Amino acid sequence: MIKFIVKLHPEIAIKSKSVRKRFTKVLENNIKIMMRRIDEHVKVRNNWDNLTVESHAQEPDVRGQLADALGRIPGIVLFNEVTEVEFTTLDDIYQQAQRLLAHEIAGKSFCVRCKRQGNHDFTSTDVERYVGGGLNQHVEGARVQLSRPEVTVKIEIKDQRAYIVTHAHRGMGGFPLPTQEDVLSLMSGGFDSGVASYQMIRKGARTHFLFFNLGGAAHEIGVKQASHYLWSQYSSTHKVKFITVDFEPVVAEILENIEDSQMGVVLKRMMMRAGSKVAQKLNIPALVTGESIGQVSSQTLANLSVIDRVTDTLILRPLIQYDKQDIIDIARAIGTSEMAEAMPEYCGVISRKPTVKAKLDVIEKQEQNFDFDILDTVVENATVIDVRDIDTAAKEEVKEAESVSQLPAGSVVVDIRSPEEEDANPLELDGVEVIHLPFFRLATKFGDLPQDKEYYLYCAKGVMSQLQALILHENGFKTVKVYRP
């Protein structure tokens, strides 16, 4: 039997009894949804201070699938895979601990930690001493070390059952979905917006996605894929919406009628106006952005203050004090960095000398030259789709970027991974020419290659190669496909 003991996030444990009961019930339901996609007969029990997940599935990969899914459910701070032992004496517990964990502690320092519930004629300390002493005596090279051991043997006892922890896993933490109100996240597909969306999902807010298309089918497809990934990985227990607003007419109006140095702030104010209108239509009380103080010119405190005054809708900025490297590190951890790196940039407006200390009266005077009917029109024409439909729609939109697993004779594979990835795991194919051209050089270097050959782009997951193939198609290079071994 596969069994996990799921621990609540500490902030759930300190809630009032009624709130804690509601949160744990929501978490229980979310775990059931995720687990039953893997094993329809799985059992989930709510034990007030923890939850248990049990599966009798025999397939060898089920354990890993269940653990992976539990690690992506908001509200779980950690979960332990355990072996359940019925005992009558402390020696029963020791014998099972030795059988299960001797290979883990051999040649290492260790300690035993026990948590106990119920009436027993021994204490938790008695368990730690007895099991620890036995392991120290009978496992070759193992030695007890109470301070900073290499391995901690964890045992939980409840009445006449002991649970020996064989694997400990970290969870997402945060609150279960959707114990907070809905939010609307402004997605650009870059590092910041993806991480900001993840942070709100982690805090239990059902997060919908809003994309302002500043030009380019590749950008929209990339943002859809990034949004679908975040939803499918971390919040697929609840459906959300993806909204696209065609912002090209707004950008054109800004370029024509707004003074150069003020364009960036005006563009952000227009986005907040439009986002607020969309949020009101969908009855969503807050917007989310990936802005961080001082990261770019529009994100100074003065400019953010002017931007915020354009709407009464609450604007949340979960990354406001994060350094860029912190954001990139989180993106790598949650799996969005590759998509962010491959995302084409559409700046919309580029000021030669953007203001870093916008003045409200100056901005409002500039906006008197703007035709707000254009903004109303693009919001009215916004497209709203179920996030679950993105995967199918994206595949249809990029069907011209054909994927193959078998390479025809005379083909050339272009390895577009970063130099570090390529060095760590070189791509070698018998009888096939492989050239290395990192994705960030494709735009300027691909045109130098002979155009009488077929090229197959390769990357680790296929996301970047599909996106880059579409960009090359848009630029007139039609002999580009994707290699997926």
pLDDT band at 349 (very low <50, low <70, confident <90, very high): low
Assess contact for 171 and 71: CB atoms under 8 A: yes
Which pLDDT score is estimated for 440?
A: 66
- Does residue 174 come out as left (phi exceeding 0), alpha (psi in the -120 to 50 range) or beta? left
- Which tops the pLDDT comparison, 133 or 439? 133
Give the per-residue pLDDT at 204: 96
Q: Model-level pTM?
A: 0.81
pLDDT at 222 over 70: yes
Residue 424 has pLDDT above 90, yes or no: no
Give the confidence band of 39 by pLDDT, cuts at 50, 70, 90: very high
Distance CA 270, CA 378 (A): 11
Whether pLDDT at 441 is above 80: no
Distance in angstroms (rounded) separating the CA atoms of residues 149 and 139: 16
- Position 198 pLDDT exceeds 90: yes
Give yes or no for residue 61 having a pLDDT over 80: yes
* Residue 269 confidence class, pLDDT cut points 50, 70, 90: very high
* pLDDT of res. 463: 64
- Give the lowest-confidence range in 105-109, 133-137, 298-302: 298-302
* pLDDT average, residue stretch 192-209: 97
Confidence of residue 459 (pLDDT cuts 50, 70, 90): confident
Q: State residue 314's pLDDT score.
A: 97
pLDDT for the residue numbered 216: 66
d(CA 155, CA 25): 26
Look at residue 331 and tell me whether its pLDDT is greater than 90: yes
Residue in the block written with tokens 């150069």: 260
pLDDT at 442 over 70: yes
Nearest to 56 by CA among 123, 2, 129: 2
Is it the case that residue 447 has pLDDT exceeding 90? no
pLDDT at 446: 84
Beta bridge partners of 84: 163
Query: What is the pLDDT of the chain when averaged over all its residues?
Result: 89
pLDDT for residue 301: 93
Cα gap 297→300, rounded to integer Å: 6
Confidence band, pLDDT 50/70/90 cuts, at residue 350 = low
pLDDT digits (tens, 9 = 90+) for 371-402: 999 999 999 999 999 998 887 765 555 455 67
Choose the most confident range, by mean pLDDT, from 8-17, 233-242, 334-343, 345-354.
233-242
Distance, CA of 113 to CA of 101 (rounded, Å): 14
Q: Is the confidence at residue 429, as pLDDT, over 90?
A: no
How much is the average pLDDT of 257-261?
90
Determine contact, residues 209/387, Cβ cutoff 8 Å: yes
Using CA atoms, how far residue 188 sits from 4, 58, 212, 222, 271, in Å, is 37, 43, 8, 9, 12
At residue 347 the predicted structure's pLDDT band, cuts being 50, 70 and 90, is low
pLDDT for the residue numbered 475: 74
Active site residues: 459
Q: If we measure between CA atoms, which residue out of 413, 448, 462, 469 comes closest to residue 478?
A: 469
Instruction: List the one residue out of 465, 445, 470, 264 whose CA is nearest residue 349.
Output: 264
Q: Which residue has the higher pLDDT, 253 or 438?
A: 253
The C-alpha angle 421, 427, 432, rounded to 5 degrees, equals 150
pLDDT at 436 over 80: yes
